[in-house]
Structure 1
Amino acid sequence: MPNGTTSPGHPPGLRRRNTVRATLTYAIVAAAVGGAADVFLPGLGAPSWALPTVLALLVLGLPLAAILAWAYNLGPAGLTSGTLAEADGGTATPTLEPVQSPRGETGASPDEWTPDPKAIAVLPFANLSEDPANEYFSDGVTEDILTHLSQIADLHVISRTSVMVYRKSTVPVGQIARELRVGSVLEGSVRKAGNRVRVTAQLIEAHTDRHLWAETYDRALDDIFAVQSDVAQQIAKALEARLAPAVLSHIRQRPSHDMKAYELFVRGRQDAFSVHPDRIPAALAQLEEAVALDPAFAAPHAMLGFTHMIAGYWGGAPPQDAFREAKAAAERAVALDERVALGWAVRGVSRAHLDHDWSAGTEDARHAVQLGPNDADAHFWLGFLLLLQERFEEALRCYEPACALDPHNPVMASHRAAAMWLLGREPEAERAFQKITADHPTVADVLAMQSVPLSRNGRWLDFAEANRKGAEITGGHPIFRAREALGLHHGGRSAEAKALVSEIRARGEEELSSGIRLLLALVEEDWEGARHFLDQAIEERQPMVLWYRVMGILPRESPWVRERFATIWPGDQLTL
């Protein structure tokens, strides 16, 4: 627990299972001893108080057994407790030997599912430091281990978004494994104190609760990279996963020699992955400081590129400037370390949006998938680019593994559902959207993706309703309100649409991007204004314009629309 009140030697999940097993074992043994005493003591001529005394001692021993099981762990190394080593040079201390298990196969449903030991979830490492604010560091350890494992093609590694759902969770490991469809679970803890760090890690065979491997590391803080590398290697060994020489070399590589730069990177990454506009400035500041301290540290360059890309897509910076910065940072990252998958993905998205070089951008994103076969984000961004090129079947083939690797991610699930719908699988896609919106009712991006096939298929009033809900969630964001107005207009409710346009304009034209003003011009049937704002949006690299093509918002049969689309997708065959 973050307040440091739990035993520091083992993470809460492991201690909880030790306690349950020890308590049940004690109860069984105590019942047997009590029964034997009841049978044999009278025959041995024992005094009348002997049997009640034995039974009372057995009952009193039960809570003592539970307390000892919570505080201590019995393994091949003996009875061990969890205190942070005070010595300057700690070494890894094995607590359990690896136990191999046969590999299973993943079925089509939970009832048919057979656990695959090479499918693994790395649960958030518990922060056992005295300062709860150090949780960012324990999350960083979790993230870095995931990054290492994502490179191993022989594994199936659940992504961060889905495992973070179980932070501080009391859900049993077996249930987590079923929900994530994995056979192995890694859990652990991190305790940071001054320039020392203690990391524990346990690899568990989920369906048997058996420990495949466990280890405790007491190290100097700047040795954290070696710890993370060793954990990844030991997992691969325990699960008998093939480890390519290039991947092994990359996992063993020390990414930075500046711990301050590393800690800034970890904090910046946490803010960037929130994808929250209010946290983007802090992420940019921390990542820029990290690369200033260690210019050769590739990871923060890649994350800096990602953060600029998010700022360009979801607000916070003029898109053209943001994508230019994203591309430059990504290029620095891949120049420093050609195996940084995120750098290739960001460069790919930036090249498509900034340069309209879809071929090169798609190849960059494809290379990211090759480098990170278990990286859900890499699969997602490749599918993202393919969807924008209306290559729907290929996009779906990317979204499928992305969702398998990140099953609790509503944005990825909504992209997958939209791709299915655009391929004509409407009933299946609608059921998927119903489940996603029920499970994640406040995620506006889900409604934004649901509106894509709705508009393309002419379901304008449903499109208006989806965007009305999006506006409600986002506090009246003008992009959702403008889309709602367009849906009402095409759905035959023109008076309501025009009234909504007036409300949007009342906020001030300066707050409205060219992409939003294009939508308002379409509602008002101001074709000259629509052409002007489309040209402006293309020049400014407004990303929403790319989606207008997929959504069928613009009349692509019109020569002026086809002419302008040809500047974005040169040489592409624009279907009517």
Structure 2
Amino acid sequence: MNKLIKELKRRNVLKETVAYLVIAWLVLQVFSTVLPIWNAPLWVLQLITITLVLGLPLWMFFSWHYQITPSGIIRTKNLVNETKSSKGNRILNIVIMAALLATIALIWIKPGVFTSVSADKLSIAVLPFTNLSDDQKNEWFSMGVTEDILTHLSKVRGLRVISRTSVMQFKNSGKSIPEIAKELDVEYIVEGSVRKQNNQVLITAQLLKANDEHLWADNYNEDLSDAFRIQQEVSQKIVKQLRIFISPEEEKALNTETTTNILASELFAKGRSIADNRTRENLENSIELYKEAIKLDPLFAEGYAEIANVYMLLHIYGDLSKEESAKQANLYINKALEINPNISRPYSVRAMLLIRDGDWQRAKINFEKAIDINPNDATAHHHFALYWRERPDPDAQKLLEHITAAYKLDPLSRPLNQTRFMALLTYDQTEEAKIYLEKIRFILKPEEIIEAEGLLNSAIKKDLRELIYSYERALKNDPDNLSLLQALSRLYRGILLDRTKSLHYSKQVFDIDSTNPGYIVDKLNTLYYRKQFEEADKILSDDALMDLLHPIQKIVMLHNYYAFQYDFERAYQYLEQIKPINPIVYYSNKAWLFSKKGDSKTTYEVFNRPGFTLMDHSKALCFAHLNETDSLFHYLNKISNYAKLDFKNHSLMEINGSTAIDPYRNDPRYTDIMKKNYFPIDAVSN
């Protein structure tokens, strides 16, 4: 080995290799600076890089066999004059020193030269473009421009692109670029304006550093039909300015438009904005907008994908059955992928549908596909995090990994930040959770802060009573706050088994506002638990109050009224009225009713019904009614595993607050499970 090193030195291979690397790096820096000025295609810089890399072994081969001397290039084995070799060495030393001095000068002049080509992702946010048009109807066109540029940049793997839900919060915020960059944790900001008038459009865009340093700007005054080309060009120029190496596939994606129909783009932007507010009415309205968009452009794959997403959500936020939700969503998923198999949304939506069916392996494959296509898809990362929480064998590490990735892409999302906070508690990172809560406090609603503080203290002290104390402290400052009163009613029943206190708070809520359907339902159920059927009968007999309820709520309350009194025949008569309206509610209540009746045959028939999946906590309560202890504790242990990952423990609270569990409260298996999840085992049922 020493002999080889000595020979490498004699032949100047090491020095000449160092000289090559330094000069090659300088060449790359020069070309990466000047090529964007000449608007050269991105592949030119890639070709130069590949050429220099391939040239290195050839240069080393040349250095071994030849040396550069004042007399010219001579084969090393023919070089006998040491003076010539020494002079060649001095020339090489001068070349290396000159190259190093040039490198130092470049770093001095341009300090960010190393970071721009680092392996770490650069981060960028595209702020909402300002609508300068006189007609405010052009606001959706302006938003469409913003989203299109954001979508294009998201296709570049070397960029971390902030999600639209976070950047939209800075629309007309008046905050400075450094302030925005700090909140979003990004290095670069894109901002601009749009003026649309008749068939002309003026688009201005500029790229800024986080410190407000101007990097690039351009104005486009073009025909309206060229709007999509402009958006594409803006995205390409930003990538060039950041000097990011992209693959041929990424370059192709940058040159591909989602739609070429301006009105379709506006409808799409409007649909996404409306769908952000998750109500049944808004989701249904967004579907109509998306359908108008795909009617204008039948090849608008993203439009089909968003329709699929909304149909999936309508099972959660609306009253669409699981079967119909899946049927409609899959129809539009398949259409979207038929048009363009390289968009992420259809795969993540399909994954969510597969979770409902308990097909965890295929759900995982689809989430991985979605994230592989678009690593900047914050929603896919968020939902994949929830996947790791909900699956039969939860993984806290994976949950935290993906929720953190989602957070970096969408740092101002309330639901996402709440999930990440819970993940930190799950992972017993209470100190980090405490710091994190202070950081996101400004995002959360007041009631969410109260809950978060209570959960944090519960994790620190390993006692869920801290959650109750948090709400009680808040109630002292706001004694008529309905949300606080309602939460305390639920918590006293679910944590402390104090049904008297639960009814007390429920009555307070009802006395303050007896017109809210949710409050009416809560009070009735609390009265049923306390066996105060005469008082419940007064509410049920009040036509004005009952007319405030949704038809299904009304029927379920009457069903529960008789079921809690063990009048199963009357209860079943009301249950049958639900079947044609909402099969999911029907079968869920049927399993509960017949298990309470002790009819295991009918209960199992519901469990095994094709296309219907009963939640684990509901199965646990059914087995409690049927006195099937082993099955009860099988599901309690299963729930305990993922309840730890969903720190709010809603499922365990519902189980613990149920009268069906009363016979098992002293069972060591039950007390162990509840203690593990920070329930106070010394609580006494009232």
Give the TM-score of the pair, scaled to structure 1: 0.66
Q: Does 1:160 align with 2:147?
A: no
Q: Does 1:102 align with 2:107?
A: no
Q: Does 1:144 align with 2:154?
A: no
- The structure whose RCO (Cα within 8 Å, separation 6+) is larger is 1
Over 3 Å counting, the alpha-carbon distance change for 1:564 and 1:304 in structure 2 is: farther
Q: Which of 100, 116, 128 does residue 124 from structure 1 map onto?
A: 128
User: Share of identical aligned residues, percent?
Assistant: 26
Q: Which residue is equivalent to 2:390?
A: 388
Correspondences of 1:209-248 after superposition (within 5 Å): 209-248=212-251
Q: Which of 371, 374, 385 does residue 369 from structure 1 map onto?
A: 371
Q: Which residue is equivalent to 2:649?
A: none
* Structure 1 residue matching 2:169: 3-state secondary structure: helix
Q: Which residue is equivalent to 2:180?
A: 176
Q: 1:90-141 CA deviation, whole Å, 9 max, x = no partner?
A: xxxxxxxxx98726779xxxxxxx9x99211111111111112322221221
* Structure 2 residue matching 1:289: 3-state secondary structure: helix
Q: Which residue is equivalent to 2:194?
A: 190
Contact 2:261 2:296 survives alignment (8 Å):
yes
Farther off after superposition, 276-285 or 404-413:
276-285
1:286 Cα deviation after fit: 0.9
Q: Which residue is equivalent to 1:271?
A: 274
Contact 1:319 1:540 survives alignment (8 Å):
no
- CA RMSD in angstroms comes to 4.9
Over 3 Å counting, the alpha-carbon distance change for 1:435 and 1:538 in structure 2 is: farther
1:519 Cα deviation after fit: 12
Paired letter, 1:186: V
User: What CA distance in whole angstroms lies between the structure 1 residues aligned with 2:401 and 2:458?
Assistant: 21
User: What CA distance in whole angstroms lies between the structure 2 residues aligned with 1:103 and 1:521?
Assistant: 75
Contact 1:421 1:429 survives alignment (8 Å):
yes
Q: 1:440-477 CA deviation, whole Å, 9 max, x = no partner?
A: 2258699599879979x76167269779999x9xx979
Q: Which residue is equivalent to 2:263?
A: 260
User: What CA distance in whole angstroms lies between the structure 1 residues aligned with 2:364 and 2:457?
Assistant: 23
User: What CA distance in whole angstroms lies between the structure 1 residues aligned with 2:451 and 2:438?
Assistant: 11
Contact 1:392 1:423 survives alignment (8 Å):
yes
Farther off after superposition, 314-323 or 374-383:
314-323
Q: Which residue is equivalent to 2:65?
A: none
Q: Which of 481, 491, 497 does residue 492 from structure 1 map onto?
A: 497
User: What CA distance in whole angstroms lies between the structure 1 residues aligned with 2:556 and 2:483?
Assistant: 13
User: What CA distance in whole angstroms lies between the structure 2 residues aligned with 1:243 and 1:522?
Assistant: 64
Q: Which of 203, 207, 210 does residue 207 from structure 2 map onto?
A: 203
Q: 1:225-283 CA deviation, whole Å, 9 max, x = no partner?
A: 22222111111110011222112212212333443333322221221233344421210
Q: 1:420-441 CA deviation, whole Å, 9 max, x = no partner?
A: 2122223433553465455422
Q: Which residue is equivalent to 2:648?
A: none
Q: 1:397-431 CA deviation, whole Å, 9 max, x = no partner?
A: 00111111221112111111111212222343355
Contact 1:120 1:156 survives alignment (8 Å):
yes
Q: 1:1-33 CA deviation, whole Å, 9 max, x = no partner?
A: xxxxxxxxxxxxxxxxxxxxxxxxxxxxxxxxx
Over 3 Å counting, the alpha-carbon distance change for 1:171 and 1:374 in structure 2 is: same
User: What CA distance in whole angstroms lies between the structure 1 residues aligned with 2:359 and 2:289?
Assistant: 30
Contact 1:451 1:463 survives alignment (8 Å):
no
Q: 1:502-532 CA deviation, whole Å, 9 max, x = no partner?
A: 6155665844499999999999999954968
User: What CA distance in whole angstroms lies between the structure 2 residues aligned with 1:149 and 1:223?
Assistant: 19
User: What CA distance in whole angstroms lies between the structure 1 residues aligned with 2:262 and 2:365?
Assistant: 34
User: What CA distance in whole angstroms lies between the structure 2 residues aligned with 1:339 and 1:424?
Assistant: 38
Paired letter, 2:232: S
Contact 1:448 1:466 survives alignment (8 Å):
no
Q: Does 1:559 align with 2:631?
A: yes
Contact 1:156 1:374 survives alignment (8 Å):
yes
Contact 2:458 2:464 survives alignment (8 Å):
yes
1:203 Cα deviation after fit: 0.4
Correspondences of 1:417-566 after superposition (within 5 Å): 417-433=421-437, 436-437=440-441, 439-441=443-445, 459=464, 462=467, 484-485=489-490, 487-498=492-503, 500=506, 503-505=523-525, 508=549, 510-512=551-553, 528-529=592-593, 545=615, 559-560=631-632, 562=634
1:199 Cα deviation after fit: 1.2
User: What CA distance in whole angstroms lies between the structure 2 residues aligned with 1:453 and 1:347?
Assistant: 37
Over 3 Å counting, the alpha-carbon distance change for 1:487 and 1:288 in structure 2 is: farther
Paired letter, 1:225: F
Paired letter, 2:371: V
User: What CA distance in whole angstroms lies between the structure 1 residues aligned with 2:198 and 2:164?
Assistant: 27
Give the TM-score of the pair, scaled to structure 2: 0.56
Q: Does 1:311 align with 2:331?
A: no
Paired letter, 2:320: A
Contact 1:173 1:185 survives alignment (8 Å):
yes
Contact 1:324 1:350 survives alignment (8 Å):
no
Q: Which of 313, 322, 325 does residue 322 from structure 1 map onto?
A: 325
Q: 1:312-355 CA deviation, whole Å, 9 max, x = no partner?
A: 222353344224322332232122111111121111111212x2
Q: Which residue is equivalent to 2:583?
A: none
User: What CA distance in whole angstroms lies between the structure 2 residues aligned with 1:302 and 1:490?
Assistant: 42
More helix by share: 2
Farther off after superposition, 552-561 or 161-170:
552-561
Over 3 Å counting, the alpha-carbon distance change for 1:513 and 1:404 in structure 2 is: farther
Paired letter, 2:325: A
Q: Which residue is equivalent to 1:400?
A: 404
Paired letter, 2:329: A
Q: Does 1:135 align with 2:139?
A: yes
Q: 1:150-174 CA deviation, whole Å, 9 max, x = no partner?
A: 1211112122122122111222212
Q: Does 1:302 align with 2:305?
A: yes
Q: Which of 374, 377, 380 does residue 378 from structure 1 map onto?
A: 380
Contact 2:193 2:204 survives alignment (8 Å):
yes
Paired letter, 1:102: G
* Structure 2 residue matching 1:153: 3-state secondary structure: coil
User: What CA distance in whole angstroms lies between the structure 2 residues aligned with 1:276 and 1:266?
Assistant: 18
Paired letter, 1:368: A
* Structure 2 residue matching 1:200: 3-state secondary structure: strand
* Structure 2 residue matching 1:102: 3-state secondary structure: helix
Aligned residues: 456
User: What CA distance in whole angstroms lies between the structure 1 residues aligned with 2:423 and 2:562?
Assistant: 28
Larger Rg: 2
User: What CA distance in whole angstroms lies between the structure 2 residues aligned with 1:444 and 1:119?
Assistant: 29
* Structure 1 residue matching 2:112: 3-state secondary structure: coil
Paired letter, 1:206: A
Q: Does 1:341 align with 2:351?
A: no
User: What CA distance in whole angstroms lies between the structure 2 residues aligned with 1:440 and 1:287?
Assistant: 30
Over 3 Å counting, the alpha-carbon distance change for 1:420 and 1:465 in structure 2 is: same
Over 3 Å counting, the alpha-carbon distance change for 1:554 and 1:497 in structure 2 is: farther
User: What CA distance in whole angstroms lies between the structure 1 residues aligned with 2:450 and 2:309?
Assistant: 21
Q: Which of 419, 428, 433 does residue 415 from structure 1 map onto?
A: 419
Contact 1:467 1:481 survives alignment (8 Å):
no
* Structure 2 residue matching 1:165: 3-state secondary structure: helix
* Structure 2 residue matching 1:296: 3-state secondary structure: coil
Contact 2:141 2:265 survives alignment (8 Å):
no
* Structure 1 residue matching 2:299: 3-state secondary structure: coil
User: What CA distance in whole angstroms lies between the structure 2 residues aligned with 1:435 and 1:489?
Assistant: 30
1:543 Cα deviation after fit: 10
User: What CA distance in whole angstroms lies between the structure 2 residues aligned with 1:250 and 1:218?
Assistant: 25
